[in-house]
Amino acid sequence: MSAANLRARVRAEMTEEIKTVAKRHLATDGANLSLRAVARDLGMASSAVYRYFASRDELLTALIIDAYDAVGEAAERASAEQSTPLEKWLAAGHAARDWALASPHEWALIYGSPVPGYQAPEDTIVPATRVMLLLGATLTEAYTSGVLVYREPITGRFIEELAPIAASILPDLPARLVADTIAAFFQICGAISAELFGQLNKSVEEDRRGFFDYQLRAAAAHAGLTG
C-alpha cells in the first residue's frame, strides 16, 4: 500500500463517517442539523469538522446530493424490475414514495423548502433530475413502441422554450410529452410532499398508498400512458 494514498483514504473514510452521523442526526432530530453535535458524536472537536466541510451548508449540500442519488437509485431499481411502461412508471413512483416515507427528513431536505439562505450549487442539478429522466425514459419507451396514445402536439411559448432542451435530453420524445414528464414529476413530488407534510390530515389514513396510486395513474394517463 503506497503511503501516499493512506492520507487520502483516511480522509475519504472520515468524510463518509461525518456524513453517516449527520444523516443519523437528520433522521432523529430533524432538519436543523448541528455541526457541533455531529462532531461531539464523533468524539472530535467541532473545528476539526471544518477540515472536511467548509461550512454547514457544504455538509448539507453533500447530504442533498446523496439523497437525490438514493431516491434516484431506488426508483431506477424498482422500475428495472418491471416490463411494461405503465408498470415501470408505477414502480418508480411507489419507490420514490417508499423512500420518502422511510427518510422523511432527507426528502424534506431535497423537495421541501430550501434551507434559509441556501442556494443550490451546480453539483446538485444533475442528480436532481434523475427521477424525472426515468419518467421521461419510460414515456419514451411507451411512445416509440406505440403503447402510448399520443393525442396531438400543443402550442405555447413554454413549449417553444422547452423544445431545444427537450431535444438534447429526451431526443425521441415530442415536446408535449416532455412537458408532461415535468408536470408528472411535479405532481408526484407534490403528492408525496403533501402526504409527508401532513396535508391530508386524517382524510385518508389507512389507504394512503391507494390514493397515491390513483394520482400516479392520473399523471400517467394525462401523458397518454394507460397501459
Partner DNA sequence: AGAAAGCAAGAGCACTGCTCTCTTTATGGC
Partner DNA sequence: GCCATAAAGAGAGCAGTGCTCTTGCTTTCT
Cα–Cα dist 76/56, whole Å = 30
Cα–Cα dist 175/225, whole Å = 16
Give the one entry of a second copy, DNA, none that residue 43 binds, where binding means its C-beta sits below a cut-off of 5 to 8 angstroms depending on kind: DNA
CA distances in angstroms from 118 to 51, 60, 109, 121, 175, listed in the order given: 21, 9, 11, 9, 32
Shortest distance, CB of residue 123 to a second copy, whole angstroms?
A: 13
Give the one entry of a second copy, DNA, none that residue 206 binds, where binding means its C-beta sits below a cut-off of 5 to 8 angstroms depending on kind: a second copy
DSSP classification of residue 129: T
Binding site for a second copy (CB under 8 A): 29-32, 108-109, 111-117, 120, 125, 128, 154, 156-158, 161-162, 165, 179, 182-183, 185-191, 193-194, 197-208, 210-211, 214-215, 218, 221-222
Kindly state the greatest CA–CA separation across the chain. Answer: 64
3-state secondary structure of 151: coil
- For DNA, the closer of residues 11 and 151 by Cβ is 11
Shortest distance, CB of residue 59 to DNA, whole angstroms?
A: 8
Binding site for DNA (CB under 7 A): 3-4, 6-7, 10-11, 14, 33-37, 43-48, 50-52, 54-57
Q: Scanning the structure block, which residue is given the C-alpha cell 439562505?
A: 117
